[in-house]
């Protein structure tokens, strides 16, 4: 009897397991190849701020805080020391140049003036005596010359007479020679007197000039001493407001001691600016601020060279008009214009910049379901916008709120 042989199936159970395993390996391989390898995190949508990138006008300005200060402060220092006798003007009062603010007293200075006046009187008296003595000597010499001139004329006449008689042999030779010698001696004496008169005139002129110079110097010295006495009156050097007057009646003030100041009516605004802009801020840049609905224009007039604590100082002055109620010490928020407005790609300011440094931003897809990190380059900035140099296009949406919680995740899932 024939035995029936059953036909075995081509695919056994073990073959099914092999195929399933191969399919699983293939699936894992495909998943590994096509999987999203970027790190991601879930973010609640209502906790972030999304803005649209746009192309518009970028106004290149910065906002700084300026403080109103007097344009000039003139300090009052005591030119002469002394005791305060009287306060004529109180602190806070408007003064005009030359107004007496304080009166000081200095007995030693008064004694010095009296001594100088006494010395001047003595020198003037000496000058008068010297002048009188010289004039008397000059007159005596003139009188001597007159006498010698008369004697010369007489002896010359006698000599001429004797000469004629001697030539006629009517006079002895001895008498003739004696008359000649007397004449020549008188002529010599007159010549000596003339030289003395000439020398006396030169000496007298030099001596009087020297004495006059001494008198002039003493008068100048006395005038200076009297000016020192006048300096005991502390006066306002310019028009302005008197401030910080600390001298009290009865107080002793040393020479050179500071006793107050005069604040000029002109005002300026001093602004401290971050050193990041030190190369862009220069005299002539315009600035402005608004107060009570009115705009006031200013101009940078001075940029101080030193940088302290990351800031540098600038002075600004009003171009046309200023607030009526402006006072020293007030602060204003100024818009300082650094350049002309330009059309460029801009994005609203946000706290993202503190974390990214302007090197990347999270770009949101159209459905606002995910956001991916993208490298960007931020250029200039103003209080409202950042200038986007590259990396973003107008119309794209970006997250502008802080990135501190996002870490290094490349993808954000918005829910």
Q: Tell me phi and psi for residue 368, to 5 degrees.
A: 55, 40
37-58+342-414 folds as 2.40.420
Q: What is the pLDDT of residue 25?
A: 59
**Residue 297: both structure tokens together:** 């224009």
Q: What is the pLDDT of residue 207?
A: 77
Any idea where the domains of the chain sit in the sequence? 37-58+342-414, 62-71+266-337, 77-104+232-262, 107-230
Low-confidence ranges of the chain (pLDDT < 70): 1-38
Strand pairing report for 370-375 and 411-414: antiparallel
Q: Among 241, 225, 189, 284, which Cα is nearest to 74's?
A: 241
Q: Is the dihedral of CA 53, 57, 58, 62 positive or negative?
A: negative
Instruction: Report the largest interatomic distance among the alpha carbons of the chain, rounded to a whole angstrom.
Output: 230
d(CA 294, CA 88): 41
**Cross-strand pairs, 55:** 345
Q: What is the pLDDT of residue 73?
A: 84
Q: What is the pLDDT of residue 12?
A: 53
Q: What is the pLDDT of residue 1?
A: 42
Q: Among 72, 43, 207, 32, which Cα is nearest to 134's?
A: 207
Q: What is the pLDDT of residue 209?
A: 81
pTM of the model: 0.53
Q: What is the pLDDT of residue 13?
A: 53
pLDDT digit string (tens) for 153-191?
A: 888 888 889 888 888 888 888 888 898 888 888 888 888
CB 411 within 8 A of CB 369: no
d(CA 315, CA 191): 82
> How far out from the chain centre does Cα 41 lie?
57
Domain 77-104+232-262 has CATH 3.40.1190.20: no
Classify 62-71+266-337 by CATH class: mainly beta
End-to-end CA distance of the chain: 78
């Amino acid at each position: 009897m024939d035995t029936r042989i059953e036909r075995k199936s081509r695919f056994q159970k073990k073959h099914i397991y092999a195929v399933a395993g191969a399919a699983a390996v293939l699936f894992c391989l495909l998943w590994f190849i096509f999987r999203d390898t970027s790190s991601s995190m879930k973010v609640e949508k209502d906790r972030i701020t999304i803005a649209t990138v746009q192309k518009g006008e970028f106004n290149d300005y910065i906002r700084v805080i300026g403080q109103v200060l007097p344009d000039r402060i003139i300090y009052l220092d005591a030119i002469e020391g002394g005791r305060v006798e009287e306060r004529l003007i109180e602190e806070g009062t408007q003064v005009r140049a030359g107004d007496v603010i304080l009166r000081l007293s200095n007995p030693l200075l008064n004694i010095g003036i009296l001594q100088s006046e006494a010395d001047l009187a003595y020198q003037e008296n000496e000058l008068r005596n010297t002048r009188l003595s010289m004039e008397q000597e000059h007159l005596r010499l003139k009188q001597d010359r007159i006498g010698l001139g008369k004697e010369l004329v007489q002896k010359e006449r006698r000599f001429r007479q004797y000469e004629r008689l001697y030539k006629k042999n009517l006079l002895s030779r001895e008498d003739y020679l004696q008359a000649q010698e007397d004449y020549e001696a008188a002529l010599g004496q007159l010549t000596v007197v003339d030289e003395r008169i000439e020398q006396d005139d030169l000496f007298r002129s030099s001596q009087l000039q020297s004495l006059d110079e001494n008198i002039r110097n003493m008068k100048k010295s006395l005038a200076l001493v009297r000016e020192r006495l006048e300096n005991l009156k502390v006066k306002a050097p310019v028009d302005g407001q008197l401030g910080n007057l600390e001298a009290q009646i009865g107080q002793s003030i040393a020479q050179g001691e500071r006793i107050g100041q005069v604040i000029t009516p002109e005002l300026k605004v001093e602004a401290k600016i971050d050193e990041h802009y030190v190369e862009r801020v220069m005299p002539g840049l315009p600035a402005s601020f608004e107060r009570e609905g009115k705009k006031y224009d200013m101009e940078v007039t001075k940029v101080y060279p030193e940088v302290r604590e990351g800031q540098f100082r600038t002075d600004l002055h009003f171009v046309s008009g200023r607030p009526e109620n402006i006072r020293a010490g007030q602060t204003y928020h100024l818009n300082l214009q650094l350049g002309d407005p330009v059309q460029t790609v801009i994005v609203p300011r946000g706290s993202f910049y503190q974390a990214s440094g302007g090197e990347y931003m999270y770009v949101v897809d159209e459905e606002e379901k995910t956001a991916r990190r993208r490298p960007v380059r931020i250029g200039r900035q103003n209080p409202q916008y950042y200038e986007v140099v590259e990396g973003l296009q107008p119309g794209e949406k970006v997250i502008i709120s802080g990135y501190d919680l996002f870490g290094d995740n490349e993808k954000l899932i918005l829910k």
